[in-house]
């Protein structure tokens, strides 16, 4: 396999050998040049001058003298040319050293970048695994809860109203629990972030959203406030039938004004709200179908929630909740819930009839 590093090392070895040969040639030429200019040339010039002065007429000089002079001149020109070329030659080795330094620098940067990518891929893989595991647990819990309704439907003893709604709330808490337990792995919650996970249902009679399930940091007071559609991020998500993600509520003029006090803005700094659309709801705000409720997560940390990471995950959970609540609605439609004996006596004395609507629970 072709290896750039091996090729560069081979190139460096050849460049170093070539540079060594060049140095030897230059050394020999310079040595000859020094000997020629400091010793041989002055001696030969002395002999030539003595020879010329000894002649009565320069024109009587022997042809050998002219040949010797020509050779002397050619040697001088050759030595001068070689020295000049040596001074102006291109240093291949210095370029190779520079190339090696650039390669090492680029390799170091590449390794650092790959280390960051490796960490990112590892984090993403861990997140995907945690999300997949949480969804599996939620789907299993939802399946078991719906299966319980099938068993109750086949029961001849009937179902007590209070026990039924206690069971429903227990199921809802179980469905939401993986989000709470795995909040650090799923949403990167820390101790100081003051997590808050709540489930709101819509009551048509009161036209309000009220808390059905909530798990939060013990340092947060559970006031369980109710919201009208269009008020607060809970009401806006319900009204618009779309997820609402706010990285910092203090930068949102509309939501900041709706907060009861500045302490709320500190404790509930960022949030994500996901509407629970009915199974037959296409998401059109004008189709006349109200959502069943809203899933809400808040944090005291700025930019706690990330759309690319959290939106699809929480939307899938909202679909599980919609499927479960559809089963609850179907069970109530086909079965009568029986009140306890004390409740029946109280109702008979008061002459009132108590009806339970799934939308108000």
Q: Is residue 265 part of a domain?
A: yes
| Angstrom distance (rounded) from CA 317 to CA 278 | 13
| Angstrom distance (rounded) from CA 77 to CA 73 | 6
**pLDDT exceeds cutoff 50 at 351:** no
**pLDDT exceeds cutoff 70 at 179:** yes
| Maximal CA-CA distance, the chain | 164
pLDDT at site 274: 96
Residues 189 and 133 occupy one common structural domain? yes
**pLDDT exceeds cutoff 80 at 234:** yes
pLDDT at site 60: 57
Q: Are strands 270-276 and 196-203 parallel, antiparallel or unpaired?
A: unpaired
Residues 85 and 162 occupy one common structural domain? no
Q: Is residue 293 part of a domain?
A: yes
Residues 9 and 125 occupy one common structural domain? no
Q: Which of 69, 89, 109 is the last residue of a domain?
A: 89
Give phi and psi for 272, each to the nearest 5: -140, 130
Residues 208 and 330 occupy one common structural domain? yes
More confident residue, 152 or 200: 200
Q: Is residue 233 part of a domain?
A: yes
Among the listed residues 293, 251, 302, the one whose alpha carbon sits nearest the alpha carbon of residue 273: 293
Would you place residue 91 in the very low, low, confident or very high pLDDT band (cuts 50, 70, 90)?
Answer: low
| Angstrom distance (rounded) from CA 75 to CA 157 | 125
**Residue range(s) defining the domain that contains residue 223:** 120-350
Minimum mean pLDDT range among 105-109, 200-204, 293-297, 320-324: 105-109
Instruction: Give the tokens for residue 211.
Output: 């808390």
Q: Is residue 361 part of a domain?
A: no
Radius of gyration of the chain (CA): 45
Would you place residue 253 in the very low, low, confident or very high pLDDT band (cuts 50, 70, 90)?
Answer: confident
Residues 227 and 235 sit within 8 Å (Cβ to Cβ):
yes
Question: In the predicted model, what is the mean pLDDT of residues 348-360?
Answer: 41
- Model confidence pTM above 0.85: no
| Angstrom distance (rounded) from CA 205 to CA 361 | 11
Residues 340 and 215 occupy one common structural domain? yes
Residues 57 and 125 occupy one common structural domain? no
Q: Which of 89, 106, 130 is the last residue of a domain?
A: 89
**pLDDT exceeds cutoff 50 at 298:** yes
Residues 303 and 224 occupy one common structural domain? yes
Q: Is residue 357 part of a domain?
A: no
**pLDDT exceeds cutoff 90 at 290:** yes
Q: Is residue 81 part of a domain?
A: yes
Residues 83 and 126 occupy one common structural domain? no
Question: In the predicted model, what is the mean pLDDT of residues 211-219?
Answer: 92
Residues 197 and 306 occupy one common structural domain? yes
| Tens digits of residue pLDDT in 180-190 | 999 999 999 99
| Tens digits of residue pLDDT in 113-130 | 888 888 778 888 899 999
Q: Is residue 358 part of a domain?
A: no
Cα angle value 274/277/278 (rounded, 5°): 155
Q: Is residue 359 part of a domain?
A: no
More confident residue, 356 or 200: 200
pLDDT at site 271: 94
- Number of domains forming the structure of the chain: 2
pLDDT at site 342: 46
pLDDT at site 6: 66
* Residue 309 vs residues 74, 128, 141, 183: alpha-carbon distances, Å: 82, 9, 23, 13
| Angstrom distance (rounded) from CA 24 to CA 122 | 56
More confident residue, 359 or 224: 224
Among the listed residues 234, 259, 261, the one whose alpha carbon sits nearest the alpha carbon of residue 249: 259
Residues 85 and 152 occupy one common structural domain? no
Residue 351 backbone class (left: φ over 0; alpha: ψ -120 to 50; beta: rest): left
| Angstrom distance (rounded) from CA 202 to CA 291 | 8
Residues 56 and 138 occupy one common structural domain? no
| Angstrom distance (rounded) from CA 230 to CA 207 | 11
Q: Which of 70, 89, 108 is the last residue of a domain?
A: 89
Residues 273 and 328 occupy one common structural domain? yes
* Residue 150 vs residues 146, 154, 181, 215, 335: alpha-carbon distances, Å: 7, 7, 29, 29, 11
Residues 340 and 162 sit within 8 Å (Cβ to Cβ):
yes
301: Cβ contacts below 8 Å, ≥ 6 apart: 190, 192, 193, 269, 270
Helix axes 92-153, 307-334, angle to 10 degrees: 10
| Angstrom distance (rounded) from CA 318 to CA 272 | 13
**pLDDT exceeds cutoff 60 at 233:** yes
Question: In the predicted model, what is the mean pLDDT of residues 316-338?
Answer: 89
| Tens digits of residue pLDDT in 45-84 | 777 777 666 666 656 566 766 677 787 778 777 777 766 6
CATH number, residue 210: 3.30.450.40
- Which residue blocks in the chain are alpha helix, DSSP H? 4-35, 41-53, 63-87, 92-153, 161-181, 183-187, 232-240, 253-258, 262-267, 307-334, 341-350
Helix axes 161-181, 307-334, angle to 10 degrees: 170
pLDDT at site 353: 41
């Amino acid at each position: 396999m072709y290896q750039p590093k091996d090729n560069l090392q081979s190139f460096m070895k050849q460049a170093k050998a070539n540079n060594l040969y060049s140095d030897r040639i230059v050394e020999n030429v310079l040595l000859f040049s020094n000997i020629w200019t400091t010793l041989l040339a002055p001696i030969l010039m002395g002999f030539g001058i003595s020879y010329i002065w000894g002649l009565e007429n320069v024109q009587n000089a022997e042809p050998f003298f002219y040949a010797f002079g020509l050779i002397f001149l050619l040697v001088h020109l050759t030595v001068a040319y070689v020295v000049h070329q040596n001074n102006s030659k291109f240093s291949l080795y210095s370029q190779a050293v520079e190339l090696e330094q650039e390669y090492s620098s680029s390799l170091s940067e590449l390794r650092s970048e790959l280390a960051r990518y490796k960490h990112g891929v590892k984090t993403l893989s861990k997140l995907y695994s945690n999300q997949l595991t949480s969804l599996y647990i939620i789907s299993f819990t939802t399946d078991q809860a719906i299966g319980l309704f099938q068993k109750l439907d086949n029961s001849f003893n009937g179902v007590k109203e209070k026990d039924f709604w206690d069971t429903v709330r227990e199921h809802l808490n179980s469905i939401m629990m993986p989000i709470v337990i795995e909040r650090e792995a799923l949403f990167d919650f820390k101790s100081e972030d003051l997590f808050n996970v709540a489930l709101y249902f819509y009551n048509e009679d009161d036209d309000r959203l009220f808390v059905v399930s909530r798990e939060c940091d013990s340092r947060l007071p559970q006031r369980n406030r109710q919201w009208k559609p269009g008020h607060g991020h809970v009401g806006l998500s319900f009204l618009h039938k779309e997820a609402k993600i706010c990285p910092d509520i203090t930068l949102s003029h509309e939501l900041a004004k709706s907060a009861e006090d500045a302490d709320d803005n500190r404790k509930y700094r960022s949030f994500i709200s996901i509407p629970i659309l009915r199974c037959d709801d296409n998401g059109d705000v004008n189709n006349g179908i109200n959502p069943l409720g809203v899933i809400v997560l808040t944090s005291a940390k700025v930019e706690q929630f990330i759309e690319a990471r959290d939106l699809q995950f929480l939307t899938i959970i909202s679909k599980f909740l919609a499927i479960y609540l559809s089963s609850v609605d179907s069970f109530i439609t086909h079965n009568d819930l029986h009140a306890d004996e004390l409740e029946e006596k109280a109702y008979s004395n008061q002459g009132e009839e108590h009806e339970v609507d799934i939308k108000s629970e």
